[in-house]
Amino acid sequence: MSIFNKKEESLKGKKSLVIYFSHTGENYMSDGIRNIDKGNTEIVAEMIKDITGADLFKIETVKEYPYNYQDCCNVAKQELNLNSRPELKRYLSDISQYEVIYICSPIWWNYMPNAILTQLEKLDFNGKIVKYVITHEGSGIGACNKNIEKCCKGAEIREGLAIRGSTVNNARDILENWI
């Protein structure tokens, strides 16, 4: 069999949804702490929407995460340690109309932010194709695959993609190929 036969089919054209979380404010970049008006993961999520025509769902917490980078790190660490599920402004309850679910998340302390878990745990992933992108500043996917495996039971989980947050503006070609 030729290796070309093994290539995964393109997912363009399948009814798709992008679920994402992204933080604006101060963020750590390779050249230090910088203020960002639009989160890195949001840029990725919008590119996927643009490429696939997917619907977008943004996860937003009732209590916003701090603007200040260090304060945000502290809150995130506390949530991780307590395994908390922060309350969201709105919840997605039904994904039955979609074939493919793209999950886009930053990595926080080597895992996905707890706010994403709040949402994912409410959904039925049976029979879905799940693809996920993690934006990071050095850890790659880290242990986010564990979050995905736990939250997306019954789904066909495809290999995750890691994109360095400070390079997301140049990631369109990478995303096109990955999709």
CB of 131 to ligand FMN, least distance (A): 17
Nearer to ligand FMN, 30 or 96 (CB): 30
The continuous run of DSSP H or E covering 74 comes out as: helix 69-82
Nearer to ligand FMN, 116 or 130 (CB): 116
Binding site for ligand FMN (CB under 6 A): 22-23, 27-28, 36, 39-42, 72-73, 76, 106-110, 135-139, 165
**Whole-Å CA distances, 34 to 6, 41, 114, 141, 176:** 42, 15, 23, 22, 28
Instruction: Name the residue with the smallest CB distance to ligand FMN.
Output: 165
Residue by residue, DSSP assigns 97-162 as: T-SEEEEEEE-BTTB--HHHHHHHTTS--TT-EEEEEEEESS-TTTTHHHHHHHHSTTSEEPPPEE
Nearer to ligand FMN, 96 or 143 (CB): 143
CB of 164 to ligand FMN, least distance (A): 7
CB of 52 to ligand FMN, least distance (A): 19
Q: Which residues pair with 61 in a beta bridge?
A: 88
Nearer to ligand FMN, 40 or 118 (CB): 40
CB of 50 to ligand FMN, least distance (A): 17
